[in-house]
Amino acid sequence: MHNTVSKKAWIFKAAAMALSAVFVALALTTPFIIVSVSDGARTVVVVDAGHGGADGGVIGRRTGVKESELNLKVAKLLGEYLASGGYKVVYTRRNDTMHTFPGVSNRKRADMFKRGEIINNAKPAAMVSVHMNYYSASSRRGAQVFFDRTDDGGRAFANIMQDTLNRDVNSVGGGREYSALSAEKYLLSCSPYPSIIVECGFLSNPFDEENLVRADYQANLAYTLYLGIVEFLNTES
Ligand SMILES: [Zn+2]
């Protein structure tokens, strides 16, 4: 009896060791592997891809790429990382479309109201709105984070996200580092949940634009956003 139990225990132990060896091997060889699938514990995160449909947002100075298209790509990659980490992801859009809203004829306003409704219904632990920036001076580059000044959770979230982006994105390749800034935006003030807007880079800057249209850069950016979200949620709990 004892012998059988200890033999079973040994087999179990060996299997567990083999499994953990596989995980270590994967972690060493696969970029951006999510180590634990239970971290998120189904915590809800809203991922908002800015603009969409008739509202393309800003346009890349050199490539003519639409901001709405890049936002959606980065948002979906971010959502995949979050889902892999055990978080429940709610998107405000998954296609190249604008929302309608009952009784609101202004398309942009209707689209915003619907996004606000999605956020409030989701009751997320965090909301991230993904955008790309544009500025008259083409020299300006890097990722910037915005929060509403009345949203304390958003401010804390924005500071953590900005630090993460400064470390993993802005400091790479000689980019400039930023401090998170307050902004008056509907999506930042339409719900009581910690909310930020991330302007991922400038489509008016040749260096940023060249990076932002690349799939590997988008994946790295999305992973950096994922790390910022996880760090904020871990400090909150
Ligand atoms: Zn935008």
Domain identity same for 139 and 85: yes
Output the pLDDT for position 26.
Answer: 46
Question: If DSSP codes are grouped into helix, strand and coil, which group holds residue 104?
Answer: strand
Domain identity same for 12 and 115: no
CA of 227 to the centre of ligand 1 (A): 22
- Its domain, for residue 103, covers 36-236
In this predicted model, what pLDDT tens digit does every residue of 44-84 receive, in sequence order?
999 999 999 999 999 999 999 999 999 999 999 999 999 99
Output the pLDDT for position 160.
Answer: 98
Residue 28 in this model has a pLDDT that exceeds 70:
no
CA of 85 to the centre of ligand 1 (A): 27
The residue-averaged pLDDT of 127-132 equals 98
Residue 237 in this model has a pLDDT that exceeds 90:
no
In percent, how much of the chain has pLDDT > 70?
Answer: 82
Output the pLDDT for position 18.
Answer: 55
In percent, how much of the chain has pLDDT > 90?
Answer: 79
Domain identity same for 23 and 63: no
Domain identity same for 137 and 225: yes
Domain identity same for 118 and 46: yes
Domain identity same for 115 and 3: no
CA of 131 to the centre of ligand 1 (A): 4
Residue 17 in this model has a pLDDT that exceeds 80:
no
CA of 67 to the centre of ligand 1 (A): 7
CA of 165 to the centre of ligand 1 (A): 18
Question: If DSSP codes are grouped into helix, strand and coil, which group holds residue 39?
Answer: coil
What band does 27 get if pLDDT is binned at 50, 70 and 90?
Answer: very low
Output the pLDDT for position 37.
Answer: 47
Domain identity same for 2 and 41: no
Domain identity same for 96 and 167: yes
CATH number at residue 58: 3.40.630.40
Output the pLDDT for position 13.
Answer: 52
Residues near 142 by Cβ (< 8 Å), separated by ≥ 6?
165, 169, 170, 175, 176, 177, 178, 201, 202, 208
What band does 3 get if pLDDT is binned at 50, 70 and 90?
Answer: very low
CA of 106 to the centre of ligand 1 (A): 18
Structure tokens at 100: 């309608």
CA–CA separation, 207 and 93 (whole Å): 28
Structure tokens at 200: 């991922």
CA of 64 to the centre of ligand 1 (A): 15
Output the pLDDT for position 25.
Answer: 47
CA of 71 to the centre of ligand 1 (A): 8
Question: If DSSP codes are grouped into helix, strand and coil, which group holds residue 109?
Answer: helix
Beta pairing partners, 89: 45
CA of 202 to the centre of ligand 1 (A): 10
In this predicted model, what pLDDT tens digit does every residue of 172-217 receive, in sequence order?
866 789 999 999 999 999 999 999 999 999 999 999 999 999 999 9
CA–CA separation, 126 and 197 (whole Å): 11
CA of 51 to the centre of ligand 1 (A): 6
Domain identity same for 26 and 110: no
Residue 225 in this model has a pLDDT that exceeds 70:
yes
CA of 103 to the centre of ligand 1 (A): 25
Domain identity same for 61 and 24: no
Output the pLDDT for position 23.
Answer: 46
CA of 150 to the centre of ligand 1 (A): 22
Residue 9 in this model has a pLDDT that exceeds 70:
no
CA of 58 to the centre of ligand 1 (A): 7
Mean of the per-residue pLDDT values of the chain: 89
CA of 70 to the centre of ligand 1 (A): 10
In this predicted model, what pLDDT tens digit does every residue of 137-177 receive, in sequence order?
999 999 999 999 999 999 999 999 999 999 999 998 667 89
Domain identity same for 20 and 41: no
- How many domains does the structure of the chain reveal? 2
Contact criterion met (CB below 8 Å) for 145 and 198? yes
Domain identity same for 19 and 122: no
Output the pLDDT for position 16.
Answer: 52
What band does 42 get if pLDDT is binned at 50, 70 and 90?
Answer: confident
CB count in 10 Å sphere of residue 199: 24
CA of 36 to the centre of ligand 1 (A): 33
Helix axis angle, 152-165 relative to 215-236, nearest 10°? 140
